[in-house]
Amino acid sequence: MSNKDQWFYPDELSGDLRDTGLSPAQITETITAAWEYTRASIPEFTNWERYLAEVRFNAIAIVAECSGDLLDIASEGPVLGYDLDELIDTLFAGTPGHESMAREFRGALLFMQEKTSGRRDTLLWHRYANALAYSPRDWFRIRDCDGLARFTMAAALACNDIDTDWPQEEEFRFLAELVLILYDTVAFYKHRAEGEICNTWAYADPSLRQEVYGQFREALWALDTAWSRRPDRRCLTTFIRNVGGPIHMTMRRYRFVEDGLTIGEPETTQMVDYARRHAKLWYRLDAIPETDRADEPFHKIMTDKDRLLFDGFADMLKRPEEENCSHCHRQGVYGTDDLGQFSGVQLCSACLQDWTAYLTTFAARARGTLPLAFAKA
């Protein structure tokens, strides 16, 4: 944190995150980052109490992303001093997502926490790594949860008092895919500096980034044009438009100012070290030697799947090993010690071709579900 930084957030949040293990400086930076992300991702709202609840959800997620040892999402007690059920009720009561968003958020926190727990060789972590790489469709559903994409879209609807006529499942899937490609492409080097396991380009061919980003950006504008006269959908395209790029300049959690007003510069050993020290609330997914797995959480999570995981996630995690591609490279410990590498399964050439076909056909796949406008002649 720079000595020049000055932090701003509403007075209502001043008492949050006390007695959680965070230092006063960490508390202030975390709440500020949560406020900035909420303002950037949901700039317009009509319901202040719901909006504050969303800021608090973002604060919890930020802590989970870099200091997961400070919370235990599998327990039923308070999380960082917050009653999650109360926050869920505040944000989503009376909406179609009241129950499902509780599972969505807990599932996201569960694996954010697992990433920063220091455990790299548990059955849960291996099953998670395999599930991420199984197929593009499964990947985007899990990344949707990990990145809180549909959760934030649902929050945008709720914060604008849009309590009915929400997107259906396939609509949410395509909307999440759209924002995640845009975000992951811009965050490519940030995520590599962190050794991230959850970036699309850890699995898809990175040489396609420019082409694919251009296609998805066009799809965003096609959707934005079609929904521009729908007050109940504009908050969704605004979320995608901002998170798909501009937040990397406007939020202080990113390095736009520190890197000379540039975006997309390859990571350096210094950036990796910053991530390892949690500068700007980043983290580093280093490879850590195997342990005796005395704290294996997999079976406990499976018994509580209806509370902790979105519908269908448990099936992805329980998929038999023999259904995974035998040609993709899997590791004993998922993390990395090398510069310029992601964590996760390394796909074989055939699987890479499948991912390429999937990514480069987004508009054709989405058009039957989303009202993408046609380009002018």
Query: Using 50, 70 and 90 to split pLDDT, how confident is the model at 332?
Result: confident
**Among residues 250, 247, 222, 223, which one has the least CA distance to residue 235?**
223
Give domain status of residue 35, yes or no: yes
- Under 8 Å between Cβ of 31 and 17: yes
Nearest 5 degrees, angle CA 168-CA 142-CA 115? Answer: 145
Give dist(CA 104, CA 88) in Å, integer. Answer: 11
Query: Using 50, 70 and 90 to split pLDDT, how confident is the model at 1?
Result: very low
Torsion of CA 35, 37, 39, 45, to 10 degrees: -100
Is 70 exceeded by the pLDDT of residue 234?
yes
Give domain status of residue 1, yes or no: no
Give domain status of residue 158, yes or no: yes
Which is more confidently placed, 289 or 363?
A: 363
Q: In the chain, which ranges are continuous DSSP H helix?
A: 24-41, 48-66, 84-92, 100-115, 123-134, 136-146, 149-159, 169-186, 188-194, 209-226, 234-243, 247-250, 269-276, 298-303, 305-308, 313-317, 349-359, 362-366
Give domain status of residue 374, yes or no: no
Give dist(CA 181, CA 361) in Å, integer. Answer: 13
Give domain status of residue 33, yes or no: yes
pLDDT (tens digit, 9 = 90+) per residue, 71-84?
988 888 899 999 99
Tell me how far the alpha carbon of residue 189 is from its chain's centroid.
16
Query: Using 50, 70 and 90 to split pLDDT, how confident is the model at 295?
Result: low
Give dist(CA 306, CA 297) in Å, integer. Answer: 16
Q: Which residues contact 238 (CB under 8 A, 6 or more apart)?
A: 42, 43, 44, 156
Domain of 112, CATH number, reads 1.10.600
Task: Give the model's pLDDT for residue 290.
Answer: 64
pLDDT (tens digit, 9 = 90+) per residue, 203-216?
999 999 999 999 99
CA dist 342 to 196, 201, 346, Å? 5, 9, 9
Give domain status of residue 296, yes or no: no
Give domain status of residue 246, yes or no: yes
Give domain status of residue 294, yes or no: no
Dig out the tokens for 125 from the structure.
């972590």
pLDDT (tens digit, 9 = 90+) per residue, 136-149?
999 999 999 999 99
Is 70 exceeded by the pLDDT of residue 168?
yes
Count of domains in the chain? 1
pTM, entire model = 0.96
Give dist(CA 1, CA 160) in Å, integer. Answer: 33
Residue 84: HSE in the Cβ half-sphere, 13 Å Cα cutoff? 26
- Which domain, by its residues, includes 111? 21-287+306-366
Is 80 exceeded by the pLDDT of residue 3?
no
Neighbours of 352 (CB within 10 A): 16
